[in-house]
Amino acid sequence: MPTDLGGRMSGRTHVTRFQVRKDSVAAARRHVRALLIEWRLGLLIDDAVLVTSELTTNVVNHAKGTGDYFELALRRRNGVLILEVADSYAWQMPELRKPDPDDPNGRGLLIVDALSERWGIRPRNPGKTVWAHLPVRGPA
């Protein structure tokens, strides 16, 4: 279940740790929804929850055996919501694919690409952080 990383939270930044397991994807979605309601960013909920779902699903499906936890960070800076998912799996970096119409997998980063202003991957030791920027629109 999620672990709040206490000293790393403010009105603009929040980091939570989740176990690498399937039920953490739904827990991460619920967490993002609740946090964005608290931050009064309701207009971003649908996109942020979908981006969270795709990035955390990638961790659960591809980062098995590399660590017990992944971190989900949300930051609000300069009119942008920055969503980051960090794990300890560094052997295969995610890449944007164009799957065949019959392929049931491989669309997660296409969705992230379509919903975000920009996104990318940052190496860390060990592992990586996949991030996405969602512009804050409308009333703050």
pLDDT in tens, 26-41: 999 999 999 999 999 9
Has residue 110 been placed in a domain?
A: yes
What pLDDT was estimated at residue 47? 95
Does any domain span residue 38? yes
Q: Which pLDDT score, from 0 to 100, does residue 139 have?
A: 52
Residue 108, domain CATH = 3.30.565.10
Predicted pLDDT at 6: 42
- Give residue 140's pLDDT: 46
Q: What is the pLDDT of residue 138?
A: 59
CB neighbour burial string for 59-72, b if at least 16 within 10 angstroms, e if fewer: bbeebeebeebbbb
Residue 22 included in any domain: yes
Quote the domain boundaries for residue 62: 3-135
Strand order in the sheet with 118-123: 3-4, 13-19, 69-77, 80-87, 128-135, 118-123
Residues of the chain with pLDDT below 70 are 1-11, 64-66, 90-97, 99-108, 138-140
Prediction pTM value: 0.81
Residues 122 and 131: beta-carbon distance below 8 Å = yes
Q: Is residue 140 part of a domain?
A: no
pLDDT value of residue 88: 87
How many structural domains is the chain composed of?
1
Query: Rounded to an integer, what distance in angstroms lies between the CA atom of residue 28 and that of residue 105?
Result: 21
